[in-house]
């Protein structure tokens, strides 16, 4: 076969495969942050059905303390209480129950600023911050460019950079006693900074990042019960730093970042099979230092820095062509759908009433927007087992039509 013809057929085959794979996951552009709010190396999280983003570097390379809230139903941003600590970049954030925790970082755009160890808890219901125990419980140094996650009601901060050198330390925060405890170090020699982490079930995972010489694409699983690390299947993209990671259902997405240039590829990981698959190319500018959060089983990516400068855009990742939860259509039916009681204790039963005729999928989300249970029903009234609500906090319930992209209004349940 002619070499040019062979290359042509190879290109067509690759294009067909790419289009087939890309059809599973769809990015949609959403409302950008307000003018003047471009942001790089910020922190982000989701609580009570809203996404939050704050701190980081603005387009003038100045560190900031402002915080912003994203509402999926109105596709809009509004400003909330400023982060009360020193302005900073490359901090970390994690969520435990209905509270967010933000801390560490560095207070300058250069590497010669003050490295922070202080931490603050954000209460979204009161829109206020309170200072908690500093990471390291009195050690003389902080950390920046660390990775963070929460597992089993505890928060963790691992790896990062301290005074010109990557570190391997892992620290656990217990909100019940407001205390940090050092855990097993990340096992790679030379430390790691600029890595990303995610949690699925009772395990956490840390991937990508760099030491002082190389970028990495290895993946490590942390078992909090055993306080032990074990290596898993490598991230299949290029080795990189300053990427993003988030979870939808029981799979994790990792993408963007810098491998020497800016990247926009996304891959997803299934811990049950220990396998990675290609998801798609992020359609916005390739970038590093972006921020992510999840709401109602949709992923959101915002901001970061590209070859064209600091960004303020927001994008939503959805599976196939499912209708986003802020569709106007969601209010066109199921207005009488109700939940009783809507204030219950842990492991209590609840009743769902006035479900419209037809087949519906019932989804339950926790306060971070993570899908924790789903079931199908064609009944008008149903009881739900109380073992779904294993911990106190806020939960959200929504119906979706099985044969149309229609959503009910979201119902909130408070579990005491």
Tens digit of each residue's pLDDT (9 = 90 or more) over 331-351: 444 556 777 777 777 777 788
Cα atoms found within 13 Å of the Cα of residue 346, Cβ hemisphere only? 4
Neighbours of 145 (CB within 10 A): 28
**Would you give the distance in Å from CA 235 to the centre of its chain?**
18
Summarised one tens digit per residue, pLDDT across range 131-180 is 999 998 555 579 999 999 999 999 999 999 998 899 999 999 999 999 99
pLDDT confidence of residue 227: 98
Residue 15 three-state SS: helix
Sequence-distant (6+) residues with CB within 8 A of 270 are: 250, 251, 276, 277
Measured CA to CA, the distance from residue 193 to residue 164 in angstroms comes to 11
Q: Are 289 and 309 in contact (CB under 8 A)?
A: no
The CATH code of the domain at 338-415 is 2.60.40.3580
Taking 80 as the threshold, does the pLDDT of residue 26 lie above it? yes
Domain ranges within the chain, ordered by starting residue: 25-320, 338-415
Mean pLDDT computed over 295-299: 93
Taking 80 as the threshold, does the pLDDT of residue 2 lie above it? no
Q: CATH number of 25-320: 3.30.70.580, 2.120.10.80, 3.40.50.300, 2.40.50.100?
A: 2.120.10.80
Is the bond leading into 317 cis (omega within 30 degrees of zero)? no
The closest of 305, 255, 250, 251 to 280, measured between CA atoms, is: 255
- Average pLDDT along the chain: 87
- The pTM for the full model equals 0.77
Q: Which two tokens stand for residue 171?
A: 């620290």
Taking 60 as the threshold, does the pLDDT of residue 102 lie above it? yes
């Amino acid at each position: 076969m002619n070499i040019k013809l062979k290359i042509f057929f190879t290109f067509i085959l690759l294009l067909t495969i790419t289009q087939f794979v890309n059809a599973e996951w769809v990015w949609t552009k959403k409302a950008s942050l307000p003018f003047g709010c471009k942001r790089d190396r910020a922190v982000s999280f989701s609580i009570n059905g809203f996404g939050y983003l704050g701190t980081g570097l603005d387009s003038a390379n100045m560190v900031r303390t402002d915080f912003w809230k994203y509402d999926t139903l109105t596709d809009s941003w509004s400003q909330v209480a400023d982060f009360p600590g020193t302005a900073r970049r490359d901090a970390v954030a994690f969520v435990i129950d209905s509270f967010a925790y933000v801390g560490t970082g560095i207070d300058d755009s250069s590497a010669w600023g003050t490295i922070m160890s202080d931490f603050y808890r954000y209460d979204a219901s009161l829109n206020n911050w309170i200072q908690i125990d500093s990471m390291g419980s009195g050690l003389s140094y902080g950390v920046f460019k660390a990775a963070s996650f929460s597992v089993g009601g505890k928060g963790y901060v691992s790896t990062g950079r301290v005074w010109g050198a990557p570190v391997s330390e892992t620290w656990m925060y217990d909100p019940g006693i407001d205390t940090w405890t050092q855990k097993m170090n990340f096992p790679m020699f030379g430390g790691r900074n600029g890595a990303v982490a995610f949690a699925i079930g009772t395990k956490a995972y840390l991937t990508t990042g760099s030491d002082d010489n190389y970028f990495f694409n290895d993946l490590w699983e942390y078992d909090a019960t055993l306080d032990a690390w074990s290596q898993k299947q490598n991230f299949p993209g290029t080795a990189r730093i300053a990427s993003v990671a988030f979870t939808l259902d029981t799979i994790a997405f990792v993408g963007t970042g810098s491998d020497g240039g800016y990247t926009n590829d996304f891959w997803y990981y299934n811990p049950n099979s220990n396998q990675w698959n290609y998801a798609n190319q992020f359609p916005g500018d390739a970038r590093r230092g972006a921020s992510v959060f999840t709401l109602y089983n949709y992923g959101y990516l915002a901001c970061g820095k590209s070859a064209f400068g600091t960004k303020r855009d927001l994008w939503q990742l959805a599976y196939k062509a499912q209708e986003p939860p802020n569709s106007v259509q969601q209010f066109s039916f199921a207005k009488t759908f109700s939940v009783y009681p809507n204030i219950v204790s842990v492991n209590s039963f609840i009743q769902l009433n006035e479900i419209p005729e037809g087949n519906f999928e019932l989804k339950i989300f926790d306060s971070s927007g993570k899908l924790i249970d789903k079931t199908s029903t064609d009944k008008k009234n149903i009881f739900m087992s109380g073992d779904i609500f294993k911990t106190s906090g806020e939960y959200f319930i929504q119906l979706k039509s099985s044969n149309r992209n229609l959503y009910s209004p979201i119902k909130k349940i408070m579990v005491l």
